[in-house]
Amino acid sequence: MLAAFWIFVICCVAATIVLVTLPDPEATFGAARLARLSPDSEGRRLATEESHGLLDTIRSNAGLLVRLGSGSALIAALRASRQVVLPLWAVSIGLSETHTAVIIGVAGAVDFALFYTGGHIMDRFGRLWTAVPSMVGLGLGHLVLAFTHDVLTREGWFIAIALFLSLANGIGAGILMTLGADLAPPGNPAPFLGAWRFTNDSGGALAPLAIAAITAAASLPVAVAVLGVLGFLGSGVLLRYLPRYSPRP
């Protein structure tokens, strides 16, 4: 068990070495490089135009980020919650570390196998047909899981729901990045994409904190049930605002 943690430690150290030793891409490639070589060039103008602050960009796109952005943040929150809830649930129902790792690993393989299918559905039928079913599936999976903690067949329910959550998540693979590309201004997409990513990551960062707070105040099943309700709330937000801001056929 301890060896698994050492793998993460070694990977983190290796990533740190790469980040410290390699040159900064912003100073080496793109508009910043052109601006450095020619102070009065087109590159300097482009770099200046794209250097808007995050708060200014959020303020100028507040309507979109509050409406559709809240739906995307809930997608990120439900995705992040899977990584927290499933191991905690396995411990709470008494599964061993080995069985937990195998179940979550197989579920991850199912998730990965559906990436292409999710992208195909998105391109063929539209963004709505992956975003909303994915959120409904994630919400339903969390809600059902919340009521299986004390049943006799809880291990079987855990396996089934872990696979179902991977199915729901895999169908919506790439939806957040695709929506960001759809919504970003064509002439200057970088500031908007930064604000869009900030909005999404906020949901993913707050989900584990919410799980911890609700679990401490009530219980883990209550926390999972709350996340399930948020999943359905997020699907309603996407159903309302996605056709408005990203009317893809």
22-50 as b/e, with b when 16 or more CB fall inside 10 Å?
eeeeeeeeebbebbeeeeeeebbebbeee
CA angle 128, 132, 138 (to 5 degrees): 150
- 247 compared with 90, residue with greater pLDDT: 90
Can you tell me the distance from the alpha carbon of 213 to that of 210, in angstroms, rounded to the nearest whole number? Answer: 5
Closest CA to 165 of 224, 91, 246: 224
* C-beta of residue 115 within 8 angstroms of C-beta of residue 169: no
Please report where in the chains the tokens 């809600």 appear, as a residue: 143
Can you tell me the distance from the alpha carbon of 237 to that of 244, in angstroms, rounded to the nearest whole number? Answer: 11
The residue-averaged pLDDT of 163-175 equals 93
* SS3 of residue 40 by DSSP: coil
The residue-averaged pLDDT of 25-50 equals 56
- 222 compared with 97, residue with greater pLDDT: 222
Distance from first CA to last CA of the chain, Å, rounded? Answer: 49
pLDDT tens per residue across span 178-215 = 999 999 988 778 889 989 999 999 999 999 999 999 99
Query: Given pLDDT bands bounded at 50, 70 and 90, which one contains residue 38?
Result: low
What are the structural domains, with CATH classification, of the chain?
2-49 (no CATH), 54-245 (1.20.1250.20)
Query: In percent, how much of the chain has pLDDT > 90?
Result: 62
Query: In percent, how much of the chain has pLDDT > 70?
Result: 86
- 186 compared with 107, residue with greater pLDDT: 107
pLDDT of residue 22: 83
* pLDDT score of 75 more than 90: yes
Lowest mean pLDDT among 13-27, 55-69, 74-88, 103-117: 13-27
> Structure tokens of 122?
């998105």
Query: Given pLDDT bands bounded at 50, 70 and 90, which one contains residue 131?
Result: very high
pLDDT of residue 31: 52
* pLDDT score of 147 more than 90: yes
Query: Given pLDDT bands bounded at 50, 70 and 90, which one contains residue 19?
Result: confident
pLDDT of residue 245: 83
Q: Phi/psi at 189 (nearest 5 deg)?
A: -80, -20
Please report where in the chains the tokens 């570390």 appear, as a residue: 97
Can you tell me the distance from the alpha carbon of 197 to that of 73, in angstroms, rounded to the nearest whole number? Answer: 9
Q: Alpha helix locations (H) across the chain?
A: 2-21, 25-28, 30-37, 42-49, 54-60, 62-92, 97-113, 115-125, 128-146, 154-171, 175-183, 189-217, 220-245
Can you tell me the distance from the alpha carbon of 231 to that of 97, in angstroms, rounded to the nearest whole number? Answer: 28
pTM: 0.81
pLDDT of residue 49: 56
Q: Supply the DSSP symbol for 149.
A: T
pLDDT of residue 164: 96
The residue-averaged pLDDT of 11-40 equals 71
Mean of per-residue pLDDT scores for the chain: 87
